[in-house]
Amino acid sequence: MVIELPYGRAPLRVDLGARAVEVVRATELPSPAPLDELLDEALAGAPIAAKPGARVTVIVSDPTRAEPRAAFLAALSRRLPGGHWTVAVATGTHGPCDPSALGIPGPVINHDGHAPTDLVELGITAYGTPVRVHRCVVEADLVVCTGCIRPHYFAGFGAGAKAIFPGLGEATAIRINHRLKTAPGARAGIVDGNPCREDLEEAVRMVPTPKLLVNGVTGPDGQIHAVVAGDVERAFRAGCDLARPWFTVRAKPAPVVIASDALPVTASLYQASKIAAAVAPLVEPGGVLVVAAECPDGVGPLETVNEAILRIGILPRLPVGARLVLVSGMEKSVVDQTLVEYGEDVVGVIGQTSRVVVVPKASQLLCEPWT
């Protein structure tokens, strides 16, 4: 059997021969309505606490997320004409980005969570996370959080309050929040009872400015199938309830699991690690998880990838004795500096194993083992 995996700048073809192969994909959804219609309908029913001429800060995601930023801004301008707008890029710990990659006109606040400039301190959460955010969310009359709801490997789902914190937070404070990824409830698909999500939402409640959520609800096909708008927490949960069954897949655990995804997830090991988190429940104890990701941008910040992501966020999710192997475009000498094993090619890694589970487009799926 020959399979074609999303891998990076081009697909990766793998010949698995006569092995028993189960390919796991999410159920295909019907074609969605036009995005502008979905946005206008959601915003029409959302109460907005802003008067004409209000100072509005609209937060958009950085280029590591494929999102329709221009469509969000256009819909908001139809619903909120005449405001004084500031667009801020939620870079979190990633650092400033290339604004030209965002596809939106005009200047933006290119947030740098590693610099003290423009940060405002608001307090400390019950979990001990200091809340320091960019002043543009405090000095506005309304903050609009845009983004796309899709599974997130330790915050439950992406988007929601994450636009403000960690999106516009201080890097050190964000990493304190991210330590909660080791908690049992900090898993993809879990919102209530997730310490990481509870902590960041408490942090955002400390921001005194009125807030509006405008989130697309993305399906596994990458398209937006619904839009939720309104209260940052309530509307977000409504979106998560829609998304959860779309992304849930089940398979019998196997001795070898091969998982991959497309760009931008496979641009670097920093991003591609979430592939391993998603499919770990499908690996048998003592098995092998092969992540196929080209990583044209390399590893990412090495210490962060090794210590803050792999050591505390990914490796503990693997079953006892399981190996994590990366097949990428990087040299062995580079991969050997990380906490993952180097694999020259997929077939060479899996050896003579007779049964394989393959999960294309794996990074955001909610994988559950058949019991």
Q: Is the peptide bond before 264 cis (omega within 30 degrees of 0)?
A: yes
The answer to whether residues 225 and 108 belong to one domain is: yes
The answer to whether residues 97 and 182 belong to one domain is: yes
Tell me the torsion sign for CA atoms 41, 42, 44, 50.
negative
CA atoms of 263 and 351, how far apart (whole Å): 27
The answer to whether residues 16 and 120 belong to one domain is: no
pLDDT confidence band for 95 (50 / 70 / 90) = confident
Q: Name every residue whose Cβ is closer than 8 Å to that of residue 31 and which is 6 or more positions away in sequence.
A: 223
CATH number of the domain that residue 270 is part of: 3.90.226.30
**Domains identified in the chain, total number:** 2
The answer to whether residues 159 and 243 belong to one domain is: yes
pLDDT at 99: 86
> Of 186, 220, 247, which closes a domain?
247
Q: What are phi and psi of 41, to 5 degrees?
A: -65, -45
pLDDT at 310: 96
Say if residues 58 and 86 touch (Cβ distance below 8 Å): yes
pTM: predicted TM-score of the whole model, two decimal places = 0.90
Tell me the torsion sign for CA atoms 328, 330, 331, 337.
negative
The answer to whether residues 164 and 80 belong to one domain is: yes
pLDDT at 366: 96
pLDDT confidence band for 105 (50 / 70 / 90) = confident
Q: Which of 27-41, 49-63, 182-196, 312-326 has the lowest mean pLDDT?
A: 49-63
The answer to whether residues 105 and 235 belong to one domain is: yes
The answer to whether residues 12 and 152 belong to one domain is: no
pLDDT tens by residue, 113-160: 999 889 999 999 999 999 999 999 999 999 999 999 999 999 999 999
Taking residues 69-85, report their average pLDDT. Answer: 91
The answer to whether residues 61 and 177 belong to one domain is: yes
The answer to whether residues 89 and 166 belong to one domain is: yes
Tell me the pairing of strands 119-124 and 130-134.
antiparallel
The answer to whether residues 265 and 131 belong to one domain is: no
> Of 229, 247, 265, which closes a domain?
247
Question: Assign residue 298 a region: left if phi > 0, alpha if psi is -120 to 50, beta otherwise?
Answer: left
CA atoms of 9 and 35, how far apart (whole Å): 27
> Of 201, 218, 247, which closes a domain?
247
Residue among 109, 124, 118 nearest 173 (CA): 124
Tell me the pairing of strands 20-23 and 12-15.
unpaired
CATH number of the domain that residue 69 is part of: 3.40.50.11440
Print burial letters for 334-350: b (CB count within 10 Å at least 16), e (below 16): bbeebbbbbbeebbebb
The answer to whether residues 230 and 256 belong to one domain is: no
Print burial letters for 163-189: b (CB count within 10 Å at least 16), e (below 16): bbbbbbbbbebbbbbbbbbebebbbbb
pLDDT confidence band for 45 (50 / 70 / 90) = very high
pLDDT at 80: 87
The answer to whether residues 204 and 66 belong to one domain is: yes
Q: CA 334, 315, 307 angle in degrees (round to 5)?
A: 60
Residue 82 has pLDDT above 90, yes or no: no
pLDDT at 292: 98
Give the structural domain span for 107. 35-247
